[in-house]
Amino acid sequence: MPKKAREMSQVEQAKTCIYCGLSRPFSDEHVFPAGLGADDRRFLLKDMVCGVCNSGVFSKLETKFMRASPVAIARLYFQPTGRGKGKKASIPSINTNSTIVFLEPHGVVEAEMTAGGKLITLLQLLFLEDDKVALTGGDHVGIDVFLDALIAALENQIQVVEKIKDVVPSRFVVETFEWDGARYHSVSRETTPTLPPKRVWREPLASPPAAAATARAPTLYQRTDGQLCLRVPPSTQAGPMLTRARKAPSVFGKQEGVPYSDFANPSVHISMTIDMKDYARVLAKIGVNFVAHAYQEQYARHHAFNRIKTAILEGLSPIWLQTIPKQADAFTGVPRTRHVAMLHFTKSRAGRFHAGMVIRLYGGTTQYVHLSENALQPPDGPAILVIDYENHRIERFFDWGSFGAVYPPNVLPDFKTLDEFSLDG
């Protein structure tokens, strides 16, 4: 995430943001997203990107990219830490609509995928038929810790919060319940941009996978970050579920010896919403940042890059993103422990060039993102970045010879094939 934008000096006020074109306080922008392990402070754009674009647009896009995109699970499995080092390092995570496993004897239950791809079956109350309540899940934090959290939440007044989907800025439906001695009843319901300090999240109950032998029960569970969540069908009232939870002897009696069956290789089902448009916007932003860093600010300010910058900021125009065929992939010698990106230029017309970036993340598919069809001739040769995301370091190369000496490719760069591909459309 970017640092707070600082005030501009009189000299700096004459400059504008390379993205929005406005004169506003700048903030340092990483050439490659810090959350992808590229927080190498030698590779920053200084006095080029305003804090509004950086914090208001790019940070949110990059968060979605890292947690809910085609590379999110690879990041979770392969990248030990996100941004930062040591005790301050962030831990990679993913945003899912639902992560579930089939756990005997209760069927489908809530789970989470954590760093390294570790699966955790969450502690939870299941609301079964005949008003029965069962306690199940993995004892990763201690059952007493979970029960204490429930007791603290099930006060005489509870605020249940549901986030409204696809609304910017974020807004929430907050329903307040009060305990009358026998049950919880709803006393108010409002829509607000502000979250109450103490809350139970409400989430919709999705249908179980076809492979599940039993119907999925509503549940009150605790995420690994400590948040309590009530997952119930959209038409179900939350009050009766909260009442059953408060009256459950396993909560206030804090019974020990809760049955739990662990097992190897559970069947995991993950539901994730991926916005490919925003995914392409982040890749294009990496490309423009790379252009500004490799070929200097004035080259990146040329009007040839105006269309792609607008597409990145507004998300309204299409961004051309395609998979590189294997015969044109020159990154086969780069190990999976490295990201790699290359700026690529081919002749267009009237002395201008098609500009694009070829990029591969976590050793996965190599992709081409088109940046401009009328760029000026770049002042230097091919620019290549190799990111050691495990150690947060970036290497830069300006010719194939030095790059190939460090990362000998199994397939030599086939410029003709790549040129034909990038101009194909």
For the chain, what are the domain ranges? 98-271, 275-424
Section 284-305 average pLDDT: 96
Closest C-alpha to 56, from 313, 306, 278:
313
Mean pLDDT, range 45-61, rounded to an integer: 96
Q: What is the pTM of this model?
A: 0.85
Looking at residue 423, its pLDDT comes to 59
Encode pLDDT of 371-409 as tens digits.
999 999 998 878 999 999 999 999 999 888 899 899 987
State residue 278's pLDDT score.
Answer: 96
Digit-coded pLDDT (tens) for 190-245: 999 999 999 999 999 866 555 455 578 999 999 988 999 999 999 899 999 999 99
| Residue 288: alpha-carbon gap to chain centroid | 21
Residue 360 and residue 355: Cα distance in Å, rounded?
A: 17
Residues with Cβ within 8 Å of residue 291, at least 6 apart in sequence? 299, 300, 305, 343, 355, 371
CA distance 306 to 21: 10
Cα torsion 208, 209, 213, 216 to 10°: value is -10
Q: Return the CA Rg of the chain.
A: 26
What average pLDDT is seen over the chain? 87
Least confident of 10-19, 195-204, 352-361: 10-19
pLDDT at 340: 97
pLDDT score at 59: 95
CA distance 36 to 66: 7
Confidence (pLDDT) at 4: 46
Classify residue 409 as exposed, middle or buried by CB count within 10 Å of its CB (0-12, 13-18, 19+).
middle
